[in-house]
Amino acid sequence: MANSIFRISLITLPLFLFACKEVECDLIESDPEQYIYETSIGASDNSAIWSFDRSIMFCGSKDDLISAFKVTQQGSILWMKYFDVGENAYANGLVESADHEIFICGAASRVSGTVKSNLLLLKLTPMGDTVWTKTFETVMSTGGERILLTKEQHLLVVGQTNVFESDSFRNISISKLDLQGILLWTKTFYSNTIDRAFGLIETLNGEYIVSGSRSLPGEYSELLLIRFDKNGDLLWEQKLGPQVKHGASTIELANGDLVSCGNYNNTNGSPETFSSLLVVKMNSYGSIIWEKEYGDSVFGEHGQCIKANHDGSFTISGYVLGSSSPGSDPLLLKIDSDGKMLWCEINTEPKYGSGTNLLKDIDDNNIVIGRDNGDTFMSIHNNH
């Protein structure tokens, strides 16, 4: 399709710092650079990446079309493309190969008129033109949730399978493919639970970790970590409960420790506005080193993406419910290596949505990319 379906605007907005549970901080204002694009961003922590030339690439969807676009750090669009790959199509994550080819994972319905989804994989040229499109059909409905390029130059895609038109049970599946889209293996972690995958990383020793949540039908969810080897064999899994907890994003530190962000609800799931942003530090076997929550008692904070800073501290992007009405506002939180809150920042006007992705530039500044009422926003913040 022609590259005419977009809107870009630069907006200067007030941001506010508010007091979280870890420390008290004064309300201050700042003016980030802000850009808006007319397409919906994909999944958290996987739908916006740095490209080889230090531009930024995004994937998402608009009106049943897969979208992909590339912008400069100053917000100017280099190219924007749309792809008709079938009904109920969406894109969740993308990666770039050493040859600058682009791979996007998601889902689409192979058979017209059905809601059953198939794992979707697209390969694009560096300019966003289609090389090939492939879908992978299974007995159950399956979608691609996260994708990464392994050190062996393979593609690893984590998905979720569920019985057609049923949410009674969901299982996490892992597929490894070569760069031609040839399936090497698929492993499914079967359980009589509802499992959801929200994060995927490769560890320093070439193993993989999925972060997400697990619950029994009708029960509250626990934060879930699954670690498996390069052949897809399970090494260990860790669940954190007992109240409602979700794991959204995980990073590995140089010593092998893991730090995950997500959210925690100590009211057993009702209402969502009382949840807190959750950060958990673990060792390489998933044993907890510390676990901390952040937020105001009348708001609902959620962490969606975590990154390490140059000084060993961490920055988390996400959203807050209840700070203004209606809807949610993007959130940015910085903590030190021991989990002490340094500052917490939210956008309150105009209404956006959530900070689903976080990128760090060479100066350690924060580039937040997220959802804005069906559009995509990108804002640039210094690291204070």
Task: Check: CB of residue 93 under 8 Å from CB of residue 110.
Answer: no
Task: Check: CB of residue 36 under 8 Å from CB of residue 376.
Answer: yes
Task: Tell me the mean pLDDT in the region 46-61.
Answer: 96
CATH H-level superfamily of 10-381: TolB, C-terminal domain (2.120.10.30)
pLDDT tens per residue, range 283-302: 999 999 999 999 876 778 89
DSSP, collapsed to helix, strand or coil, labels residue 41 as: strand
Residue 74 pLDDT grade (very low, low, confident, very high; cuts 50, 70, 90): very high
The structural domains of the chain, with segments of one domain joined by +, span 10-381
CB atoms within 10 A of CB 330: 26
The pTM is what?
0.89
- Residue 349: per-residue pLDDT: 58
The more confidently predicted of residues 10 and 225 is: 225
Q: Does residue 377 have a pLDDT over 60? A: yes
Task: Tell me the mean pLDDT in the region 141-156.
Answer: 90
DSSP, collapsed to helix, strand or coil, labels residue 272 as: helix
Task: Tell me the mean pLDDT in the region 225-245.
Answer: 90
Whose CA is closest to 331, among 350, 341, 345?
A: 345
The more confidently predicted of residues 372 and 28 is: 372
Q: Does residue 251 have a pLDDT over 60? A: yes
**Poorest-confidence range of 31-35, 282-286, 337-341, 343-347?**
31-35
- Residue 127: per-residue pLDDT: 97
- Residue 372: per-residue pLDDT: 85
- Residue 326: per-residue pLDDT: 67
What are the Cα distances from residue 146, in Å, to 4, 42, 358?
28, 10, 15
Task: Check: CB of residue 312 under 8 Å from CB of residue 340.
Answer: no
Exposure string of 62-76, with b = 16+ CB inside 10 Å and e = fewer, is beebbbbbbbebebe
Token pair in block for residue 334: 């910085």
Angle, CA 106 vertex, CA 105 and CA 112 arms, to 5°: 135
Average pLDDT in the chain: 84
Whose CA is closest to 145, among 219, 205, 195?
A: 195
Backbone phi, then psi, for 318, in 5-degree steps? 180, -140
The more confidently predicted of residues 33 and 344 is: 344
The more confidently predicted of residues 183 and 88 is: 183
**Poorest-confidence range of 92-101, 110-119, 155-164, 208-217?**
110-119
Rg (CA), the chain: 20
Residue 64 pLDDT grade (very low, low, confident, very high; cuts 50, 70, 90): confident
- Residue 283: per-residue pLDDT: 96
